[in-house]
């Protein structure tokens, strides 16, 4: 992926697979990852552009899980950003289908981000790479979103300091 420095993606995964449908158990999934791969669901009914868009967003989303889990302390540190009384959803598809985004003061960028801490991190990463102007604006307007954005960027910078140039180019740093 051109947005990442040479070797960044290959340092985290070895392959990306795109499938028409993906189920984890009995639940339909948009993507998943393993120790060295990402599998994305992009049904044929989406058409060429939809498959590309779904895959593009999905790679950023799933790759961020591998970045998040690279250091054992990162997820517990990220979890501290969650509102004290927040109840994470047990069924992400319900939150996604209902489309009820939390108030931005919570720091969540979408309903799906509010389903669990890892999905929250994933949504930040995907939006940094696919909607950087929106994330930059929200970070200027909401201090918690700014802190979370800085945290996500720091995770990527620990993996590869060359990401600083990427974040500058995207306009989020």
Q: How far apart are CA 125 and CA 94, in angstroms?
A: 22
Residue 98 is predicted with a pLDDT of: 59
Residue 166 is predicted with a pLDDT of: 96
Cut 0.85: pTM above it: yes
Residue 2 is predicted with a pLDDT of: 66
Produce one character per residue of 102-140: b if its CB has 16 or more CB atoms within 10 Å, e if not: beeebbbbbbbbbbbbbbbbbbbbbbbbbbbeebbebbe
Residue 70 is predicted with a pLDDT of: 92
Q: Tokens 């979370």 — which residue?
A: 148
Calculate ∠ Cα 63-102-128, nearest 5°.
30
Residue 97 is predicted with a pLDDT of: 53
3-state secondary structure of 19: strand
pLDDT, tens digit, for every residue of 106-120?
Answer: 999 998 888 889 999
Residue 93 is predicted with a pLDDT of: 54
Residue 91 is predicted with a pLDDT of: 55
Q: Low-confidence residues of the chain, pLDDT below 50?
A: none
Rounded to 10°, the helix 143-159/132-141 angle is 130
């Amino acid at each position: 992926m051109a947005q990442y420095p040479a070797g960044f993606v290959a340092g985290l995964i070895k392959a990306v697979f795109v499938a028409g449908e993906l189920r984890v158990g009995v639940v339909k999934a948009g993507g998943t990852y393993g120790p060295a791969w990402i599998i994305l669901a992009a049904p044929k009914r989406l058409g060429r552009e939809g498959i590309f868009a779904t895959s593009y967003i999905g790679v950023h989303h799933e790759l961020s899980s591998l970045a998040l889990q690279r250091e054992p302390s990162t997820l517990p540190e990220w979890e501290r950003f969650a509102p004290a009384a927040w109840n994470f959803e047990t069924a992400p598809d319900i939150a996604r289908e209902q489309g009820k985004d939390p108030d931005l003061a919570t720091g969540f960028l979408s309903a799906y981000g509010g389903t669990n801490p890892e999905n929250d991190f994933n949504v930040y990463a995907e939006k940094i790479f696919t909607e950087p102007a929106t994330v930059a604006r929200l970070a200027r307007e909401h201090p918690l979103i700014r802190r979370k954005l800085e945290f996500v960027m720091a995770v990527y910078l620990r993996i590869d300091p060359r990401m600083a140039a990427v974040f500058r180019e995207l306009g989020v740093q």
